[in-house]
């Protein structure tokens, strides 16, 4: 038995040693699941995109550009053109008029275009841009009056929403689903016109403003993935090569944090959005409307703040609340609701600041102001360059129109940082460590007991009297 104990002890010791990791478990850095677009080939979110839209770090055409483009469109439309070219120029002219604040004329243009297309027998996706633009112009041209209680303006907003709905039906994946969130936002604002108190309860997508959200827990949940190292390497390669299987991509998206449609939301007349959704979907919609539509507004900033809070992005959330605070006078005609927004933003910011190092807190507002000034200054310079080029007679269609500007100013977009990365540990190496520990539990006592028994047996054998 002593010999058996020694043999088993040595055996399990050898097995345990074979499971000792010879180096630190390899670590992979993967993009977070929201890097997988909702639809194959679509646009996916980066937190840097949120940072840039909050601080206006993107190029935006100015008044001179749209005036010149409108002039060129009118000139071309006065001639003989194929129908499809005429339709495209009408869209451009309508968008230009919208950017310049002349939504009534933009609506008339698009209504005439729709009649022409229907007379030609066009339907379905062929009418997408007409529906989307007509709906947008109706909404932009009537929103402020509707919020002030104008019944006719409310009706125009409802008609605009209906056109957006038709645009979604014609082409649901256009503009990475932007129109879906445009329709949802209008539905919520129409509901708030009847019940202004809703603005104290929800943001645009149904995040409750009174919810007790701890971004530290949400950050841990977002980052808290544990993957087998071999599987992570496969995903890394397929992401790099663009060969990630659609089914696996859909499964991976299930790890994205869901937001919106919180308690009490389903009771509201917002039929286009009735359940929580992955946070990247409304975030992309808001970024698209902010950059390509009517620009910054307190509703978008508030919604980005509440959403970033729920995915653990405290610094982004703080800046979004700061931007919303500074646009509070555009929140609603009622001064009490404007003050509510200011107070809410400051409460959220105070909660975030209590979790951050004092040195970081001291830098939050100065850094925000510097970033916003940088973004707005870039846009002003961009628009000044456009005006100067146009005044010199340079065509806005010239492929080198912006070359001098880009040489002087360089890129404006923020780089993607570690907030968009997922650290993955090799699960197999960790498993080897656990097995090694379990085997040592067996090997140690067995080896020790076997050696003790073997030594005792030898001692007893030597001390036993010799037989005669």
- What are the tens digits of pLDDT across the range 160-169? 999 999 999 9
pLDDT computed for residue 140 by the predictor: 96
- List the Cα angle 284/290/294 in 5-degree steps: 140
Q: Phi-psi region for residue 124, left (φ > 0), alpha (ψ -120 to 50) or beta? A: left
- List the Cα angle 41/47/49 in 5-degree steps: 70
pLDDT computed for residue 22 by the predictor: 46
Query: In whole angstroms, what is the distance from residue 452 CA to residue 6 CA?
Result: 9
The residues facing 170 across adjacent strands are: none
pLDDT digits (tens, 9 = 90+) for 2-48: 565 555 555 545 544 444 444 455 566 777 888 888 887 788 999 99
Residue pair 241/33 in contact by the 8 Å Cβ criterion? no
pLDDT computed for residue 36 by the predictor: 84
| Upper half-sphere CA count for residue 144 (Cβ side, 13 Å) | 8
- Across residues 373-384, what is the average pLDDT? 98
Q: Is the pLDDT of residue 126 over 80?
A: yes
Measuring CA to CA, how many Å separate 69 from each of 20, 231, 288, 318?
70, 52, 22, 38
The residues facing 425 across adjacent strands are: 27
How many residues does this entry show for the chain?
468
pTM score of the predicted model: 0.83
pLDDT band at 439 (very low <50, low <70, confident <90, very high): very low
pLDDT computed for residue 426 by the predictor: 56
Query: In whole angstroms, what is the distance from residue 132 CA to residue 168 CA?
Result: 8
- Across residues 367-376, what is the average pLDDT? 98
Mean pLDDT (the chain, rounded): 86
């Amino acid at each position: 038995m002593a010999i058996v104990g020694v043999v088993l002890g040595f055996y399990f010791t050898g097995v345990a040693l074979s499971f000792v990791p010879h180096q630190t478990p390899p670590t992979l850095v993967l993009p977070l699941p929201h890097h997988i677009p909702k639809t194959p080939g679509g646009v996916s979110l980066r937190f840097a995109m949120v940072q840039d839209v909050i601080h206006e770090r993107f190029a935006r055409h100015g008044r001179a550009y749209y005036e010149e483009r409108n002039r060129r469109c009118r000139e071309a439309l006065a001639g003989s053109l194929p129908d499809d070219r005429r339709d495209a120029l009408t869209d451009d002219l309508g968008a230009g008029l919208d950017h310049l604040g002349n939504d009534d004329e933009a609506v008339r243009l698009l209504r005439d275009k729709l009649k022409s297309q229907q007379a030609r027998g066009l339907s379905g996706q062929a009418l997408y841009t007409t529906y989307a633009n007509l709906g947008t112009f109706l909404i932009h041209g009537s929103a402020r009056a509707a919020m002030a209680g104008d019944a006719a303006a409310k009706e125009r907003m409802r008609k605009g929403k209906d056109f957006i709905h038709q645009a979604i039906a014609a082409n649901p994946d256009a503009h990475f689903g932007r129109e879906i969130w445009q329709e949802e936002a209008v539905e919520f604002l129409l509901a708030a016109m009847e019940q202004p108190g809703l603005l104290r309860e929800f943001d645009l997508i149904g995040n409750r403003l009174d919810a007790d959200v701890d971004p530290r827990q949400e950050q841990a949940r977002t980052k808290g993935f544990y993957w087998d190292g071999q599987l992570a390497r496969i995903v890394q390669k397929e992401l790099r090569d663009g060969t990630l299987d659609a089914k696996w991509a859909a499964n991976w998206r299930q790890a994205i944090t869901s937001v919106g449609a919180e308690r009490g939301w389903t009771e509201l007349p917002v039929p286009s959005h009735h359940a929580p959704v992955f946070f990247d979907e409304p975030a992309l919609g808001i970024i698209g409307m902010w950059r390509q539509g009517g620009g910054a507004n307190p509703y978008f900033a508030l919604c980005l703040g509440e959403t970033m809070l729920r995915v653990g992005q405290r610094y982004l959330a703080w800046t979004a609340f700061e931007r919303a605070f500074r646009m509070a006078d555009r929140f609603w005609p009622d001064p009490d609701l404007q003050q509510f927004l200011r107070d809410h933003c400051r409460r959220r910011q105070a909660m975030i600041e209590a979790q951050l190092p004092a040195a970081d807190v001291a830098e939050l507002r100065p850094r925000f102001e510097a970033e916003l000034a940088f973004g707005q200054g870039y846009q002003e310079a961009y628009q000044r360059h456009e005006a100067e080029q146009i005044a010199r007679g340079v065509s806005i269609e010239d492929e080198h129109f912006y070359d001098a500007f880009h040489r002087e100013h360089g890129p404006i977009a923020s780089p993607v940082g570690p907030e968009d990365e997922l650290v993955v540990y090799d699960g197999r190496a960790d498993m080897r460590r656990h097995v090694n520990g379990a085997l040592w539990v067996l090997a140690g006592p067995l080896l020790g007991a076997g050696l003790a028994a073997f030594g005792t047996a030898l001692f007893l054998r030597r001390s036993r009297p010799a037989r005669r």
